[in-house]
Amino acid sequence: MNEKATEKKPMPKGVWLLFSFEGRISRKTFWIFNGFVFLGGMLLGMITNPVTDINDIGPAYTFFMFWMLWPNIAIQAKRWHDQDRSALWLLLNLMPIFEPVMGLLCMAGPIWAFIQNGITPGTPGPNRFGPDPMEVQKCNSTKGR
C-alpha cells in the first residue's frame, strides 16, 4: 500500500477548532469562542428582530444558534479533554430535557459545565488527549522570535 495514501493530513487550525472533538484547548480559547457567539447572537438579534419583547426569537437568531451547536459541542469537548475528562461530560448539557421532572434544578448541569470549562485550569503537561495547550502556545510564540 502507498505510504502517502495512509498518512493523515493535518486539519487546518480553524476547522480543527470548530469541528473536531480531538485534542485540548485553553480557557482563553474557550472564552474567546463563547464571547464571539454571545456578541454575534446579540447583534443578530438586534438587527433582525428589533422588538421590545425579549421572548420573541426570530428565525435568523434560531438558525444562528442551531448553526453554532456543533462548534460549541466541539469546543466544550476539547475543554473537558484539557481537564483529562471524557467528552461524555457533555451530557450535563442535556439536563434541561428533564425540566418537567426537576424544575429549575435542571439548569444546574449546563451552568456547572460552563463554569467548569471556563474557570477550571487544565491538567499541566500532556495527558491522554494531547499536549498541554499552554505549552503549545509558548512554543509557537517563541518560534516567531
* Domain assignment of residue 98, given as a range: 23-143
pTM, entire model: 0.79
| Backbone φ, ψ for residue 130 (5° rounding) | 140, -175
Residue 79 lies in a domain: yes
Residue 12 lies in a domain: no
Residue 30 lies in a domain: yes
Residue 2 lies in a domain: no
DSSP letter at 127 equals B
Mean pLDDT, consecutive 10-residue stretches, the chain (145 aa), reads 56 82 92 94 80 70 88 94 91 80 79 92 92 78 60
C-alpha cell at position 77: 469537548
What pLDDT does 25 receive? Answer: 93
Residue 97 lies in a domain: yes
Residue 13 lies in a domain: no
Residue 133 lies in a domain: yes
Single out the residue of 9, 14, 37, 36 nearest to residue 25, CA to CA. Answer: 14
C-alpha cell at position 111: 451552568
Residue 85 lies in a domain: yes
Q: How many domains does the chain have?
A: 1
What pLDDT does 135 receive? Answer: 82
